[in-house]
Chains A and B, each alone.
Chain A
């Protein structure tokens, strides 16, 4: 007896109905794949458009003067935004000077000293929530505690706003960096009779440093691009700043101000400032990535 016949070999396309059903399933599969690919590649469109426009509109004005001169008055030609570049750097620096120590020390506390304490859990949650707070709220906060108290807009106020913005990023990445340190190192250090402080300073921190730097650079990249926290804390200035307690220009606020004026030259300058800002932010991000890869 031919036993083949007793088995319905339905993995061969024998049954007509079955075959058409399989065909429609595989067509649907194909269609969804193409759709998914198309949608994913569509994300290239906005990015490419932004990059092209920033380059096309930003490059013509890019010259040495941009970095050394002051912004042109309304309707005037020439000039640059040297004060805004310095202002951005200074305020990011102030923010970093506040946020980095607080963030890293907190991370050490919640990872090295009391990882399962209630404080540690609260710190983690609060840091997560702080990352979700709109950046403009950092500005409102700095406005309340610096501008309203001192009575004037200042680089300090902008720096404080950026510090609040940077704190959660630095804290959370530093904690991850510390978690990444193998506990064998710590145990070896304790085993040799080192105190906890010695272990942290000599063993844990050096090992985690590249990853901590990554977090710092990411925070810097984000803070440098932010406008909202600065717009009513540092405000803007047409002039070189003499001190940290006067209104201070920044690249991002310059872009904002110039993008809404009816003068082509100013608008062009906004594009050039965008080019500089995007270049700076991208550089900071790339440094962040490479600093991180050193660890592995």
Chain B
């Protein structure tokens, strides 16, 4: 039995990027329903560890729906149900033994619209630690600095950690939300159109950040921006009408897609 390796942030970021497991997350015959309306059909895919996987596809094709199943956020909506399986490192996330609040700590999420809590920057970052009962100040301080550095925000806010997070700019708020998500030391980071509300400069910063973060996290990002997908993802999945049409290396998808639909979409012929 191999020993349990603690992932310490800084050491890993500088560490050589080792290739992880190819089926870190695996989706099997997954169907999803909002009430009677089916919005995902027989999805099968393996998402590799420590790589960036992009979900693309026209609006309403089910990208967010699938993404929000990975941390079971969809359970908050009344009347939903699913069939099939989603596994994280070989274990079902729907298993009865799974504590959903612990699952959500393992799989962090960043939303389309940044949603900092109306608290100080500091309190936003340590929120997850606080709710899991951590009170040791030195540990919290460490976490704040490490996470904010991780989200490339430290230098901009280090002098006003105790001011309200609502005073930040849009791009800063989004990076704060990323910091808040990685403070939890998750294994996976889900990002649903994280840049759609940001200006180009802030977008570049977040994209750089994503490339950095994949040293440590498995990242899944939903995006409507083709350039963004090519710039920062390793693999790309194209969805259409709730089905997974094509899933391959990003380079392959954008240079030589095997499906006509994919080609039409990325060349802007529809959607």
Contact = CB atoms under 8 A, between A and B. Distances in A.
Are A and B direct contacts in the complex by CB distance below 8 Å?
yes
Q: What is the interface residue range for chain A against chain B?
A: 10 to 19
A11 B88 CA distance: 10
Contacts of A2: 1-2
Contacts of B78: none
A136 B2 CA distance: 80
Interface in A1-42: 1-13, 18, 21-22, 25-26
Interface in B61-118: 88-91, 93, 97-99, 101-103, 105-106
A4 B105 CA distance: 18
A10 B106 contact: yes
Nearest to A24: B133
Contact of B99 (A7, A8, A22): A22
B4 A21 contact: no
A3 B20 contact: yes
B21 interface: yes
A63 B6 CA distance: 83
Contacts of A3: 20-21, 49, 89
B89 to A, nearest CB: 6
A21 B106 contact: no
Given A6-B4, A8-B4, A9-B91, A22 B101 contact: yes
A13 B97 CA distance: 7
Helix, strand, loop or mixed for chain B's interface?
loop
A3 B49 CA distance: 11
Given A5-B1, A5-B4, A25 B101 contact: yes
B243 interface: no
Contacts of A22: 99, 101-102
A2 B90 CA distance: 12
Nearest to B3: A5
Nearest to B100: A11
B187 interface: yes
A25 B20 CA distance: 33
Contact of B90 (A4, A10, A18): A4
A72 to B, nearest CB: 57
Nearest to B187: A7
Contact of B98 (A4, A7, A11): A11
A21 to B, nearest CB: 6
Nearest to A23: B99
A7 B105 CA distance: 14
Contacts of B103: 11
Nearest to B20: A3
A27 to B, nearest CB: 13
B183 to A, nearest CB: 15
B16 interface: no
A214 B89 CA distance: 60
Given A12-B98, A25-B101, A1 B91 contact: no
A6 B105 CA distance: 17
Nearest to A4: B89
A284 B177 CA distance: 51
A160 B1 CA distance: 88
A21 B98 contact: no
B8 interface: no
A26 B102 CA distance: 11
A7 B89 contact: yes
A4 B1 CA distance: 10
A5 B2 contact: yes
Nearest to B4: A8
Interface in A129-144: none
A22 to B, nearest CB: 5
Contacts of B21: 3
A10 to B, nearest CB: 6
Interface string B160-197: 00000000000000000000000000010000000000
B138 interface: no
Contact of B133 (A5, A8, A12, A21): A21
A176 B49 CA distance: 56
A13 B105 CA distance: 13
A18 B102 CA distance: 10
A9 B97 CA distance: 12
27 contacts: A1-B2, A2-B2, A3-B20, A3-B49, A5-B3, A5-B4, A6-B2, A6-B5, A7-B187, A8-B4, A9-B88, A9-B91, A10-B102, A10-B105, A11-B93, A11-B99, A11-B102, A11-B103, A11-B106, A12-B97, A12-B98, A12-B102, A22-B101, A22-B102, A25-B131, A25-B132, A26-B101
Interface of B: 1-6, 20-21, 49, 88-91, 93, 97-99, 101-103, 105-106, 131-133, 187
7 A-B pairs with the lowest CB-CB distances in the bound complex, closest first: A5-B2, A11-B103, A11-B102, A11-B106, A3-B21, A6-B5, A22-B99
Interface of A: 1-13, 18, 21-22, 25-26
Given A2-B1, A3-B49, A12-B102, 5 more contacts: A2-B2, A3-B89, A10-B105, A12-B97, A13-B99
